[in-house]
Amino acid sequence: CFNNCDAITTPSHDLKNELINTFNIDEEKITVLPNLVDTNHFTPRYYSDNEIFTILHVGRFEKGKGVETLLDAFILLAKKYPNVHLLNIGPEQGAYLEKCKNRLSNENLLDRVTFAGFISYERLPEKYGIADLVVVPSEIYESFSYTVAQAMACGRSVIASKIGGIPETLGDGNNGLSFKPGNTEELFEKINELYIDEKKRIFLGSNARDYAVNNFSIDVLAPKYIEYYRSLLN
């Protein structure tokens, strides 16, 4: 397919480089166009409970998504702070989910974790609005993270793993924090840092919103997409 097509787009430079290195593709054939995020739908909405600190995870609840690392970090945090709560949104994954629930039960922390299951696209901004911060702990390759981009558009501070194109989605260090995939201690330290420093959470969230609007919004990207496809016709 790569050899037969005339042009390729990728949502990140990381994926572009992966394709070049893996398949020896001419780099002139590949154009980087980030994925679109509806920043008019994903907007800052604040429903946070001042007495509860909510950490949000959005995605499939499975090992490859780094949820075990997140769970380990959460357990450390929950033992330190009695008001920390973990909210998981996404399809439930059977036996693996039960294993994690059993572990939480053994730690007497099951009542401080919510497994909300699938949430519709229309209701997602409301759930981001509940969160004090969003964690994206992926341990499998992602070329672009919609969860990171959506959370940023909602003005939430984000902690994400340094894998694939996720650091590009997150942008520079002024929009969120990153950690080595699978490193429980580093993730715990990053969450703890933002738990303690509310001003930094607000600062990162505000910058994140601006970054998402300037880099992923339809208003910014639609003209670039149109220009690109017109260039192919010419």
**Tens of pLDDT along 145-178?**
999 999 999 999 999 999 999 999 999 888 999 9
- 66 compared with 234, residue with greater pLDDT: 66
Q: What is the per-residue pLDDT across 146-155, written as a single tens digit (0 to 9) for each? A: 999 999 999 9
pLDDT in the model for residue 107: 94
* Helix residue spans in the chain (DSSP H): 13-23, 67-80, 94-106, 124-130, 146-153, 166-170, 184-196, 198-216, 218-233
pLDDT in the model for residue 46: 83
Mean pLDDT over 103-115 rounds to 94
Tokens of 61: 């609840």
Mean pLDDT over 28-39 rounds to 96
pLDDT in the model for residue 50: 76
Are the C-beta atoms of residues 166 and 142 closer than 8 Å to each other?
yes
pLDDT in the model for residue 200: 96
pLDDT in the model for residue 3: 84
Find the range with the poorest average confidence among 24-28, 65-69, 97-101, 158-162: 97-101
pLDDT in the model for residue 60: 85
Residue type (1 letter), 79: K
pLDDT in the model for residue 112: 96
Are the C-beta atoms of residues 56 and 129 closer than 8 Å to each other?
no
pLDDT in the model for residue 94: 72
Are the C-beta atoms of residues 6 and 228 closer than 8 Å to each other?
no
Mean pLDDT over 187-202 rounds to 96
pLDDT in the model for residue 179: 97
Mean pLDDT over 25-33 rounds to 95
Other C-beta atoms closer than 10 Å to the C-beta of 215 total 18
Percent of the chain at pLDDT above 70? 99
Residues in contact with 28: Cβ distance below 8 Å, sequence separation at least 6, in sequence order: none
